[in-house]
Amino acid sequence: MFGLLSAALPIIGDVVKKIIPDKEAQAKAMLELQKMQQEGELKELETRMSAILAEAQSKDPWTSRARPSFLYVIYAMILASLPMGALTAFNPDVAHAVASGMKEWLAAIPDSLWTLFGAGYLGYSGARTFDKHSRNKNK
């Protein structure tokens, strides 16, 4: 909602200029609109920060560690590519064998497990988004 207000502010400003002929009154109206925008954005930022802090302070290890743990795994995969690049320069056959082994290992994971992971991750993300939106509506 606040992003929509930010995007619509120039249009609203044009309407204010057409409706209010007095330059001083226009300036006051625009200042009020900008205050509303800033307060809204500040409120949105506070809401986001409170959700992040609540998640981080949760006593439930799945809630407080799920996203960071997933990201750590991805970071480890990215960092592993650096020595693999160097290994390729010195011994391309070994690097190719390692990459093939990793590819085969990932391909050995059943499709149903990948589907379950994707559904769970999307479900978790969707539920969190729905929860955040429903909390914001109640305020």
Coil vs helix vs strand at 37: helix
Query: What pLDDT score was predicted for residue 71?
Result: 75
Q: Are 71 and 63 in contact (CB under 8 A)?
A: no
Average pLDDT over residues 92-111: 90
Query: Domain coordinates of the chain in residue numbers?
Result: 1-57
pLDDT tens figures, 3-58:
555 566 676 677 777 777 788 887 887 787 777 667 666 567 667 767 766 766 76
Query: What pLDDT score was predicted for residue 66?
Result: 64
